[in-house]
Amino acid sequence: MSKNMMAAIADEYLKGRLLMVATTDLDVGRPVIWNIGAIAASGRPEAQDLVHKILLASAAMPGFFPPVLFDVEVGAQHYQEMHVDGGAVAQTFLYPPQIGLLVNLREGPYARQRHAYVIRSGRLDPEWASVDRRLMSISSRAIATMIHYSGYNDVLRIYSTTQRDGVDYNLAYIGRDFTVEHRADFDPVYMNALFDYAYQKAVRGYPWAKAPPVLEEARGRVASAR
């Protein structure tokens, strides 16, 4: 990240805009949400290097890329924290849901028009696969299924939070109309096809979903029954 970009992020932060990035602290097993705007606006000489490390840690998928170590000082003690991709805890986040419990976001001094745009870079429908009856294949499929539903539950959780707090909900995800087979991780053919799929939808005016697909489908069935 260049100095000019850091300055632009700092300017937007001072206007009230937030840029948040999540990582996972493996030592304590909890998520950490970094306020990149506040770091950029701090004026500290190490700010740029810190943002670089945060972005690197946020992309450090466990098992694929090495974790990132952060030097921390508390009192007179120095130690290191090990951080990886925030997806180890939550694949998608909007804001801490307890905020809506502490203050009334619908009425009073904190009420305002709010819009949430949630981009889920994955499918929300399960993909069928023939699983070999072997330990490694079964374990791999089970982990992939767990990750899939972790992401889906994040989408549902965010929707529930926005409905409670009066936030306009908008969701983008890989739909069932994308049919290119995913043969291997980081497959360039698949990745290029996926990029083109998203690009074509964007240039035509993306049809943001106003609810997770499972809820939209349920509402459609109820409406049809009536």
Give the range of the structural domain holding residue 82, as residue numbers without chain letter: 3-88
Geometric angle at alpha carbon 95, from 121 and 151, rounded to 5°:
30
Task: Establish if 94 belongs to a structural domain.
Answer: no
43 and 69 assigned to the same domain: yes
83 and 145 assigned to the same domain: no
Last residue of a domain, one of 88, 115, 130: 88
User: Residue 115, SS3?
Assistant: strand
Residues 25-50: tens digit of each pLDDT: 999 999 999 999 999 999 999 999 99
83 and 16 assigned to the same domain: yes
Residue 81's beta-bridge partner residues? 70
58 and 115 assigned to the same domain: no
pTM metric for this prediction: 0.77
Task: Establish if 93 belongs to a structural domain.
Answer: no
Residue 33's beta-bridge partner residues? 22
Residues 72-94: tens digit of each pLDDT: 988 888 989 999 999 889 888 88
